[in-house]
Chains A and B, each alone.
Chain A
Amino acid sequence: MSDGERRDMGSKLSFGRGRPGRTAVTLPDCDVPLAEMPSPSLLRDDLPLPEMSQPEIVRYFTNLACLNYSVDTGFYPLGSCSMKYNPKLHEDLARLSGFAQVHPLQPIETVQGALALMHELQGFLAEITGMHAVSLAPAAGAHGELTSILTVRAYLEHRGESRHKVLVPDSAHGTNLATVSTAGFQCLPIASDARGNTDLAALAEALDEDVAALMLTLPNTLGLFDQNIVQIAQMVHETGAQLYCDGANLNALLGQVKIGDLGFDVVQMNLHKTFSTPHGGGGPGAGPVAVKAHLAPFLPSPFVGQAANGAYVFEEPEHSIGKVGAFHGNFGIMVRAYAYIRSLGAPGLREVSENAVLNANYLLACLREAYDLPYERRCLHEVVFSGSRQRAKGVHTSDVAKRLIDYGFHPPTVYFPLIVDEALMIEPTETESKETLDAFCEAMLVIAREAEEEPELLRSAPHDAPLRRLDEAAAARHPVLRWQREDQA
C-alpha cells in the first residue's frame, strides 16, 4: 500500500465511498413465485448502506486489514504484555476437531481427551509455579487476580477471621487495585524504595491483623526482581495474611525459580502471555490460579480430577467459592498452553526466560546513554526508561512513542508504571533476533537525536500514519462506538 493509499484509508469509512446504484452482486431473475412482503410499517426504506462494487469492497477491507499491526507483522515491544511470537503449530493443534468442536454440555465420557489435557495442564502449571493445586476456570489475567483474592477471602472467612485491607505496591498493575475494590477490601498503597523494591519500612508499618493479603507482582512492573521477597513473605505470614503473586510477568521466571518456593500462597498466570496465544484487543485469554494446599479447598469449580477407574471428572473443591465463569474456562487457550509447555519441555521453558531477560538487558545496554534509567540495576524481562531528559527539550514520552510509528515499530508502553516520570516500558520477549533488537535500538537512538536537534519532528509525529494525533482524552470520556450519518451525529 502506498503512503497515499494509507492516508486515504484513514480519511473515510466505507459509508463515504459508495455511489447510488452500484452493487457487488448480480442476482439471477427470480424463478419462484414472489412471497408476500411484510407490512410496510415493518420495512425501512432509508437504510444508509454503502453501495459499492465487489472490487471496491474487497480492496477496502483488504487495505483496512493491512493497517493492522501485530506480532506477525513487526516488533511489538509493549511492556507488561509479553507480545511474543506464537508458533503456528499451536493454532493447528487448537483447531483439531476433537478440541475445537466439542460442546461444554457434552457428557464427560465423550470429552475424556479434553479433560485429560486439562488435568495434565493443571499438573504442569502446579510444577512450574511450585504450588499444590490449580484452577483453570478464570478467563483472563484480571479475572485470575479477582479469583485469587476471592479465594483468600473465603479461606480467611472459613477461619473466622474478618480482615478488611489488602496491600498493593505503588508500582502495581491498575487491575490489582480494581481487584481489591471488587472483592470488597480496602486498598492500601505501599511505597517502593530507591532501588525499586518494596519499601520494607512502609510494609512493616502497614501490616497488622486487619490485612488480608499483600498483592505483589514479581518481577515488578519496573522489570525488577524484589530482592527482599523472602523477608517480605515472612513479614506477611507473621501477621496471618496471605501473599499473592501477580504472575503477569512469569515470562521472566520460567524454569528459574518457583513462585511457591519464594513464599507466595497464590499466583495467577496469564496463559495468553507466557504460554503463547495470540492476544491483545480484549482476548480471549486464560488466567489460571495456582495455590498452596491450605487454599486448595476454596478454589473455584470445576476442577478436573481423576476417578479411581482412571476416568477424568469435574470436581468441586470442598469449600469452593463457586463458579467464576460459564462452563470450564477458555479451553482453546489451554490447548495452546499445553502444546507450548510440552513442545519446549523444562529445558526449553528455562531458555525462554533466559532469552527474554537477555534481550531486555541488551536493550538496556544499547539505550542507557540516550534515555535515563531510573533504577541503576540489571532488569529482568522488561526495561523501564524515563523520558525526563527529552522533556527538557519539550519532547514527551508520548512524542517518542508516536515517532516510533514512523519508523515502523509498535510503540512500547508509556506512562506506566506511574512511579517513573515519563515512563517508557519496553518488553522485547525472547522470540526477537539480535537484528530486530538492533533495528529498534537504532530507531530509538535516532529519535533521541531528533529530540535534541529537531524536537518539532517528534511533537508532530506520526507523519506516515493514516491518522495522526487523536484526542485520546475525548475518546475515553466521550466514546463514539458506532457510525452515525453526518446529518444525525
Chain B
Amino acid sequence: MKWLWVLGVIAALAALSSACGGGDKAAPSLSDADLKNIVMVT
C-alpha cells in the first residue's frame, strides 16, 4: 500500500501547485512602461 500513499502525496502536491497561477498558466502581463523600465535597468 506504500505506493498508493506516495501517489496520494504526489496528487496532493500537484493540487497545491495547480492552486498557484504561476508560469505558463498566468504569466503576469507587463505594460510597455514596465518593459521600458526593465530595459533601462538592465
Contact = CB atoms under 8 A, between A and B. Distances in A.
Nearest to A111: B20
A106 interface: yes
Interface string A384-396: 0000000000000
Give the top 6 A-B pairs by smallest Cβ distance, nearest first: A101-B23, A113-B19, A98-B17, A102-B22, A110-B21, A98-B20
A53 interface: no
27 contacts: A89-B10, A97-B17, A97-B22, A98-B16, A98-B21, A98-B22, A98-B23, A98-B25, A99-B16, A101-B23, A102-B20, A106-B21, A106-B28, A110-B20, A110-B21, A111-B20, A111-B21, A112-B20, A113-B16, A114-B16, A114-B20, A335-B13, A338-B13, A339-B9, A342-B9, A342-B12, A342-B13
Contact of A345 (B5, B10, B24): B5
B6 A102 contact: no
B20 A103 contact: no
A117 B14 CA distance: 11
A336 to B, nearest CB: 10
B17 A96 contact: yes
Nearest to A107: B21
A215 B10 CA distance: 38
A101 B6 contact: no
A113 B28 contact: no
B20 to A, nearest CB: 4
B18 interface: yes
Interface string B1-42: 000011001101111111111111110100000000000000
Interface string A107-121: 000111110110000
Nearest to B24: A97
